[in-house]
Amino acid sequence: MKNRITEETALFASVAKWLFLSTIIGLVVGAGVSLFLKVIQYFIDRQGFLPFHYYFFLPLALVLSVYLVKKFAPDAEGHGTEKVIQAIHEKNGKIDVLVIPIKVIATVITIAAGGSVGKEGPSAQIGAGVASVFATFLRFSDEDRKAIVICGISAGFAAVFGTPIAGAIFGVEVLVVGSILYSVLLPSFIAGFASFLVSQTMGTPYVEFHVEFFPRYGLDELLFLKVVIAGIFFGLISDLTITFVHASGKFIKKELVMGYIEKCIIGGFFLIGLALLFGDQYLGLGMQQIENSVNNATGGGVHWYDFLLKILFTGLSLGFGGSGGVVTPLFFIGSTSGNAIGTLLSGNIQFFAAIGLVSIIAGAANTPIAAAIMALELFGIQTAHYAAISSIIAYLITGHRSIYPSQILAFKKSQYLEVPTGKDIEHTKVVGTQSVTLNKLRERWHKKKGLKKSGKDTTNQE
């Protein structure tokens, strides 16, 4: 009995501690992210007042963005979330305080000028940075620092997504592929809810989706088959996105032998040329196109190739030094690719655009649980079941790759593959097949192939 009392007392103290700390973090991060989003919207609203195309500022914006990051906060480089994951795994959650203002300024400059980046990466860095400063001030242990920083990540995602549960889950699921950190689940939920409530109170606008989809009761075999096909398609698109974003970044960084100023200017003018050629809907956040994809029952204003061009614009924007997140572009890629596959499958376009939006997140970020919950929060229960199936298939089909290469791989996605676990995805490669059954099938195939070539009858062999 004494041990039971001791155990319950310790658990109560732990719950009380994290309720208090995570609430504070959630409130502060929610306010910070809301201000950040309002500043972005302020500049977006004024793009049309210029006497020329706003994206003509892109060369200058890229130069300023890269200069600020290189000069004052190198950890603010890239799309934000990647650096936060790296800080969790390699630095016990320690984040330079300068990352917060530099990341905010660089991202606002990039998005205002039309860089094809998102707002959630910087929001995660705001959350993680605030939590890290908080932990340093109160002299937290390394373990508690990591926990409170993860709370900050969840709070940042919850505020920017407008989905408190999915945002909280995303923050704990995105760190390790194939594992959720249950030890920080409660504080992450509390921080996410507190952050979302503050954001709502401050009037942060969120896109409302209206998916007119009413499946019949019972199992719809044809629809189920279409969802499976769509999930495979979204997995392949996720893989394409990851490959192009990383490959373009490496090529620009290593193969273009010139100073960063020259690279930024060349990249800016290249993006201007693409915008003049294909249109400016692929620049910036692209929220209007996302909304059109999901809310327009006829798919009006959305082209089948939109997702391909968005991949191109996003990879180049990040590769040439633009500062910002990658999830908002993934929303664009997911919803427009869903629109395309929905048209091809002669299905409900809104439905496939909706499940595409979350499935690409599941595949590219390796977060199928968060994606399934996001579908429920954004689109309702009618769509959520099918979105969960599509998200998990996309997650598996994408393979052992990620838009966040610092994720630790804790789970191999197929028993037939030999993949080392426990390392970051960037340095994890498939080294072969592991299944005896698969090897036997391969041997049998080669054996039959050889017998046929020699003219022997294989009908009753084996």
Q: Which residues pair with 118 in a beta bridge?
A: 325
Distance CA 353, CA 366 (A): 19
pLDDT grade, residue 462 (50/70/90)?
very low
Residues 183 and 225 in one domain: no
* Residue 445 domain-assigned (yes or no): no
Average pLDDT over residues 316-322: 94
Token look-up 């790296």 returns: 86
pLDDT grade, residue 215 (50/70/90)?
low
CATH code for the domain in which residue 93 is found? 1.10.3080.10
Angle at alpha carbon of residue 30, lines to 28 and 34, rounded to 5° = 120
What is each CA distance from 219 to 214, 263, 298, 344, 394, in whole angstroms? 13, 54, 25, 22, 21
Q: Which helix (H) or strand (E) holds 177?
A: strand 176-177
pLDDT grade, residue 411 (50/70/90)?
confident
Distance CA 434, CA 162 (A): 42
Distance CA 146, CA 91 (A): 9
Is pLDDT of 329 > 70?
Answer: yes
Question: What pLDDT is stored for residue 458 in this prediction?
Answer: 46
Residues 227 and 318 in one domain: yes
Q: How many domains does the chain have?
A: 2
Which of 258-262, 330-334, 371-375, 443-447 has the weakest average pLDDT?
443-447
310 and 284 in contact (C-beta within 8 Å)? no
Residues 145 and 185 in one domain: yes
* Residue 276 domain-assigned (yes or no): yes
**Model pLDDT for residues 10-39, shown as the tens digit of each residue:** 888 889 999 999 999 999 999 999 999 999
Three-class HEC string of 244-284: HHHHHHHHHHHCCCCCHHHHHHHHHHHHHHHHHHHCHHHCC
Residues 191 and 322 in one domain: no
Residues 95 and 141 in one domain: yes
Angle at alpha carbon of residue 134, lines to 131 and 135, rounded to 5° = 90
Distance CA 53, CA 239 (A): 33
Q: Which amino acid is at 48?
A: G
Residues in the chain, overall count: 462
Distance CA 175, CA 324 (A): 19
Question: What pLDDT is stored for residue 459 in this prediction?
Answer: 43
Is pLDDT of 366 > 60?
Answer: yes
- Crossing angle between the packed helical segments 2-45 and 120-137, to the nearest 10 degrees: 130
Question: What pLDDT is stored for residue 214 in this prediction?
Answer: 66
* Residue 435 domain-assigned (yes or no): no
Question: What pLDDT is stored for residue 430 in this prediction?
Answer: 81
What is each CA distance from 106 to 19, 66, 109, in whole angstroms? 33, 8, 5
Range of the domain at 48: 2-201
Copy the structure tokens of residue 165.
């549960």
Average pLDDT over residues 119-123: 89
Residues 52 and 175 in one domain: yes
Is pLDDT of 91 > 90?
Answer: no
pLDDT grade, residue 179 (50/70/90)?
confident
Token look-up 């932990």 returns: 135
Residues 197 and 233 in one domain: no
Is pLDDT of 423 > 90?
Answer: no
* Residue 370 domain-assigned (yes or no): yes
pLDDT grade, residue 453 (50/70/90)?
low
Question: What pLDDT is stored for residue 438 in this prediction?
Answer: 59
Residues 310 and 242 in one domain: yes
What is the rounded average pLDDT for all residues in the chain? Answer: 89
Helix (H, G, I), strand (E, B) or coil at 8: helix
* Residue 404 domain-assigned (yes or no): no
Tell me the residue ranges of DSSP E strands in 86-169.
none
Question: What pLDDT is stored for residue 5 in this prediction?
Answer: 83
List, in order, residues 6 or more apart from 410 with CB less than 8 Å away. Answer: 176, 177, 178, 179, 421, 422
Average pLDDT over residues 359-365: 97
Question: What pLDDT is stored for residue 451 in this prediction?
Answer: 62
